[in-house]
Structure 1
Amino acid sequence: MDIGKKIRALRLGNNLTQEELANRLELTKGYISQLENNLTSPSIQTLFAILEVLGVETHEFFSKPEDEDAKIVFTKEDFYEKESPELGSLISWIVPNAQKYEMEPIMIELKPGGQSRIDDSHPGEEFGYVLEGQITLVLNKKRFIVKKGETFYYMANKEHYLINTGGSVARVLWISTPPMF
């Protein structure tokens, strides 16, 4: 663990100069510089005082950031797919475990005449981008034609679903926030 780097990041996050931090701790600017450059190590008492001034609990400082090992790039092998032959659809969850994030993207492929499942109203918002074909967005019984290269965006507080009324396969990138798919 790079203690100096973490202290510097916290100091900067609090919009403090080295001198301001040093003054609050009755230390010297040079000492703070040495700490941040790992040229010296603080005593436990000094470290606790620094963390208190920076507004960080000791356990937070030493815990691994949640996103440090978070996967950033996902490949086809990471996707989870579910086919619904009765609906004529194939859904691919393209970010595994997206329920823990703020939004959930899926890729939905609809055969001609196929449709997504009907979603009841729920809190949140949804966005879609038609990659191939043409779909009809049904939003509370109102219908909207959305063609390749076009997008849709709506509040999800009304019943909604997609239908492929065209003659070729339709593919849509569909994103929900909060995760609902």
Structure 2
Amino acid sequence: MLVDIKNAASPVSVAKVADEVAQKPSDKTAVKSTGQIGADFRALRRARGWTLSELAEKLDRSVGWLSQVERGVSEPALDDVRTVAALFSLPVSFFFSHSPDTPESLYVVRAESRRAMSDDSKGLVESLLSPDLGGAFEIVHSVFAVGAKCPQPFVRPTEEAGYVIDGSLTLIIDDKEFALNTGDSFRFAGETVSWINQGTKPAVLIWVIAPPVY
């Protein structure tokens, strides 16, 4: 799920992103990531269906530079990371929280190594359960605070499924309301969706999205 539940296919306000990034001190220093950040850039770009030139334009960078970053030949500056984070509604820390590069990191995500995809400022805390952003689907651990409500209904070109680990969540699919409780599961594809936690404790869900939207 997107942190701010935006439609993954909707246009991004580059001007708004630029304003947000401009409010922070500029930093053109290249970050050190052994190519991991570039791989994230590529996965995020492909998830949105953007070409190299489309993302390069949003970053005010050349296609050649972006291609080198995605292939791990060059490293982006912190300013570039901030811009990409804003474009995809991710915290900057997401790009610097990779698991240690070990043989198991390609397959396993330890509980203490989950990558945060949002904070609790909007009543929804998400972390990535998949080893990376590539692949045909992504798995997200989502915690909905009591009273948290989807800012607006969303539609995505995806097939999604979920399982309620704890608590309860009201899911609205095409104006049909479903009260989900611990142990319940769901699936939808292409419908208009919204949600609200009307329970008395946080709702904890596992959410699977195909293809990835982050």
Give the equivalent residue in structure 2 for 1:177: 210
**What's the offset of the Cα at 1:142?**
2.2
TM-score (normalizing by structure 1) = 0.55
Give the equivalent residue in structure 2 for 1:6: none
1:173 and 1:116 mapped to 2: Cα distance?
A: 17
Of 159, 173, 187, 1:125 maps to 159
- The 8 Å contact of residues 158 and 210 in structure 2, kept in 1 or not, is answered as yes
2:114 and 2:153 mapped to 1: Cα distance?
A: 22
Residues paired across the two proteins, number: 111
Give the equivalent residue in structure 2 for 1:149: 183
Give the equivalent residue in structure 2 for 1:138: 172
- Identity, % of aligned pairs? 24
2:140 and 2:131 mapped to 1: Cα distance?
A: 10
Of 192, 195, 203, 1:162 maps to 195
Give the equivalent residue in structure 1 for 2:111: 76
Q: Unaligned regions of 5+ residues in structure 2, if any?
A: 1-102
CA pair 70-117 structure 1, distance change in 2 beyond 3 A: farther
Relative contact order (C-alpha < 8 Å, sep 6+): which is higher?
A: 2
Give the equivalent residue in structure 1 for 2:81: none
**What's the offset of the Cα at 1:80?**
1.5
Of 107, 114, 125, 1:90 maps to 125
Secondary structure of residue in 1 paired with 2:157: coil
Secondary structure of residue in 1 paired with 2:139: strand
- Runs ≥4 in structure 1, deviation > 3 angstroms? 115-119
1:116 and 1:97 mapped to 2: Cα distance?
A: 26
CA pair 69-149 structure 1, distance change in 2 beyond 3 A: closer
Secondary structure of residue in 1 paired with 2:106: coil
CA pair 70-78 structure 1, distance change in 2 beyond 3 A: closer
Secondary structure of residue in 2 paired with 1:83: coil
Which is richer in strand?
A: 1
**What's the offset of the Cα at 1:93?**
1.2
